[in-house]
Amino acid sequence: MPDPGSPVLNRRHLARAAFLGGASALYSASAFAADRPDGVFGFLNVRNFGAAGDGKTDDTAPLQRAIDAAAVNSSGVFLPPAIYITRELHVRPGIALIGIPAWNYSGPGGSTLRLAGPDAPGLLNLTDARGATIDGLALDGRGLGQNVHGIFTERTAYGPHEDGFRIERCQITCFTGDGLHLERAWCFSVRHCECMANHGDGLSLRGWDGFILDNWLSGNGRAGFAARDENASVTFTANRVEWNSEENFVVVGGDGYQITGNFFDRAGTVGIALRHNPQTAGWNKGPCTQFAITGNFIKRSGRFAKAGTHDSAQIVLEGSSGVTCAGNVLESGRDDGNQGVWSPSFGIVWQGLENCVLANNVLHEGALQQLMVDLGGKRDGVIVKDNPGSLFTPGH
């Protein structure tokens, strides 16, 4: 895991601010509400419910009171920029939890929720938050507890209707579990967020119908994005997924993904991995099916993988069917500053494919040992062609 002084967090010369489209209008309305009675423009100010925001006082009770009050009329809760110490908060259906997104690549800022202690499953609980919006918050897990998540759902079964919640412009860092842990989530969006330096995955999904757009999933202890249980129907576009300790992107037995226009950099193992689920009975078991992997840049995968193994690869397609892998750019490399090991050993590795196309990928200096690796198995309707490239030899 990177620490705050590591090059993973500080290698960029300028910290990137997180004010994105619409922030100025939101700030104007929120600032107006901050100094006026509750209910102006539909915002309830947490200060008016007793939240201290001094980085010392436990603000759990006043924050929860504000959330519960907003649920009465489906209104918004505004958190003025400050550090709010809190335990688990239960987000209610149809509300908006709004802050000022002034965090940057190196750490929290603006409206910050800081975990009070280790004895909680997570910080923001969205289990019953149908139609809610979380916008503009920095969540700091402080490395407390074990398997504590940042934003999460916890369910033993899927609900009777779509969740429809939105998570926007949030930073979720330093949790001992996953940054975002969506357990049996159904229909949601995550946009313009940063999930970084969590001990688990940046975003872990069990569910379907997700829109994951324009996020940073960086420096997490497991994968950047992971869907290891039943999963389907995800649009994953324009994300930067980098420096995660395991795969940058891994799906097991999933269905119906569009993975387009992302930047995958310096994965600990594989850049993009589609894994076969060995269980063949039941829904969504067996191979990954119906994937479009197009127009991505996949760079320097296999940082922690043993050289010569298939964990040291840019892309692994394991027993997949109905996959188009086309128009991607693959490049080998090492750590920033010309440090660390060179990787990966392999470019694209596949086995047991059916009705798949691997074409028009460019692998200029794309791997160290072998660019295209066919491990055999079923090959009905598989097209592999026009994948130009060259091996990279360190020191030459």
Q: pLDDT by residue (tens digit) across 16-27?
A: 333 333 444 344
Contact partners, residue 37, CB within 8 Å, separation at least 6: 48
Residue 63 included in any domain:
yes
Q: Are residues 289 and 337 in the same domain?
A: yes
Q: Are residues 249 and 337 in the same domain?
A: yes
Q: Give the end of a domain, one of 209, 244, 268.
A: 209
| Rounded-to-integer distance, Cα 380 and Cα 376, Å | 11
- What is the predicted pLDDT for the residue at 281? 58
**Mean pLDDT, residues 228-246 taken together:** 97
The beta strands (E) that lie in 17-164 are given as 43-45, 54-58, 76-79, 82-86, 89-90, 96-99, 111-115, 122-125, 133-135, 137-140, 149-153
Using alpha carbons only, give the angle 139, 92, 117 rounded to the nearest 5 degrees: 35
Residue 340 included in any domain:
yes
Q: pLDDT tens digit string along 165-213?
A: 999 999 999 999 999 999 999 999 999 999 999 999 999 999 999 999 9
- What is the predicted pLDDT for the residue at 333? 97
Contact 288, 325 (CB under 8 A): no
Among 6-15, 40-49, 96-105, 115-124, the range scoring the smallest mean pLDDT is: 6-15
Q: Are residues 244 and 349 in the same domain?
A: yes
Q: In the predicted model, is pLDDT for residue 8 greater than 50?
A: no
Q: Are residues 205 and 234 in the same domain?
A: no
Please report, for the domain that includes residue 138, its CATH number.
2.160.20.10
Take residue 131 and report the two structure tokens written for it.
């139609």
More reliable by pLDDT, 286 or 384: 384
Take residue 201 and report the two structure tokens written for it.
């995955």
Q: Are residues 116 and 39 in the same domain?
A: yes
Q: In the predicted model, is pLDDT for residue 79 greater than 70?
A: yes
Residue 217 included in any domain:
no
Q: Are residues 191 and 247 in the same domain?
A: no
In this structure, the strands spanning 122-125 and 297-299 are unpaired
Cα radius of gyration (the chain): 22
At residue 91, the 3 state secondary structure works out as coil
- What is the predicted pLDDT for the residue at 278? 77
Buried b (16+ CB within 10 A) or exposed e, 127-158: bebbbbbbbbbbbbbbbbbeebbbbbbeeeee
Q: Are residues 34 and 83 in the same domain?
A: yes
Q: Are residues 25 and 125 in the same domain?
A: yes
At residue 32, the 3 state secondary structure works out as helix
Contact 124, 151 (CB under 8 A): yes
Q: Are residues 181 and 306 in the same domain?
A: no
Q: In the predicted model, is pLDDT for residue 385 greater than 50?
A: yes
Contact 153, 181 (CB under 8 A): yes
Q: Give the end of a domain, one of 209, 242, 269.
A: 209
Range of the domain at 26: 1-209
Residue 44 included in any domain:
yes
Q: Are residues 169 and 269 in the same domain?
A: no
- What is the predicted pLDDT for the residue at 3? 43
Band of residue 277 on the pLDDT scale cut at 50, 70, 90: confident
Q: In the predicted model, is pLDDT for residue 40 greater than 50?
A: no
Residue 231 included in any domain:
yes
Q: What average pLDDT does the chain have?
A: 90
Take residue 211 and report the two structure tokens written for it.
């829109």
Tally the domains of the chain.
Answer: 2
Q: Give the end of a domain, one of 178, 209, 240.
A: 209
Residue 215 included in any domain:
no
Q: Are residues 65 and 152 in the same domain?
A: yes
Residue 148 included in any domain:
yes
Q: Are residues 276 and 164 in the same domain?
A: no
Residue 218 included in any domain:
no
Task: Please identify which residue in the block is written with the tokens 């925001």.
Answer: 53
DSSP secondary structure letters along 352-394 = S-BS-EEES-BEEEEESSEEEEE--S--TT-EEE---EEE--T
| Rounded-to-integer distance, Cα 342 and Cα 393, Å | 9
